[in-house]
Amino acid sequence: MNLLFRPNLSPDATGEALSRLVAPGEIRDHCLDRLLDRLGERFRCYCARYSLGLWAPGLRITNEMRAVTELYLPMAEIATVFRRFLSLALRYDPATETTLLRASVSWPDFLQRIPLDGLLPDPARLFRRLAQAEEFRIRFLFALFLPRRHGGSFLRYPAQIAFLESRLTGRGRPVREIRCLDAACGTGEGAYDLAGLMRKLGIPAQSRHIHGCSIEPLEIFAAAHGYFPHDRHRERRFREMTGKLFRDGGTEGMVFFRDDIGQPPFPEEEPYDIILCNGLLGGPFIHGEEGLSTALAALFDRLKPGGVLLAADRFHDGWKRKTPPDLLEGLLKERGLVPLAISDGFAAEKQKPRLTFIRQESPRA
**Mean pLDDT, all residues of the chain:** 88
For residue 221, give its domain range: 158-350
pLDDT of residue 174: 72
DSSP letters, 266-334, are PTTPPPEEEEE-TTTBTSSSB-SHHHHHHHHHHHHHTEEEEEEEEE--TT-GGGTTTS-HHHHHHHHHH
In a domain, 264, yes or no: yes
| pLDDT exceeds 70 at position 139 | yes
pLDDT of residue 359: 55
In a domain, 46, yes or no: yes
In a domain, 307, yes or no: yes
Q: What is the pTM of this model?
A: 0.90
In a domain, 176, yes or no: yes
Q: H or E element: which one contains 233?
A: helix 232-247
pLDDT tens per residue across span 190-205: 999 999 999 999 999 8
Percentages helix, strand, coil for the chain (3-state, rounded to 5) are 45, 15, 40
| Distances from the Cα of 289 to the Cα of 145, 245, 282, 314, angstroms | 27, 39, 9, 19
Residues 183 and 115 in one domain: no
In a domain, 358, yes or no: no
User: If pLDDT is split at 50, 70 and 90, which confidence band does 365 have?
Assistant: very low
Of all residues in the chain, what percent carry a pLDDT higher than 70?
88
Residues 115 and 190 in one domain: no
Please state the rounded mean pLDDT for residues 304-309: 95
Residues 34 and 139 in one domain: yes
In a domain, 209, yes or no: yes
Residues 176 and 290 in one domain: yes
In a domain, 75, yes or no: yes
In a domain, 5, yes or no: no
Instruction: Report how many domains make up the chain.
Output: 2
Please state the rounded mean pLDDT for residues 94-117: 85
pLDDT tens per residue across span 254-303: 999 999 888 888 888 899 999 998 877 666 566 666 777 788 888 999 99
The CATH number of the domain holding residue 283 is 3.40.50.150
Residues 125 and 92 in one domain: yes
Residues 312 and 171 in one domain: yes
pLDDT of residue 353: 73
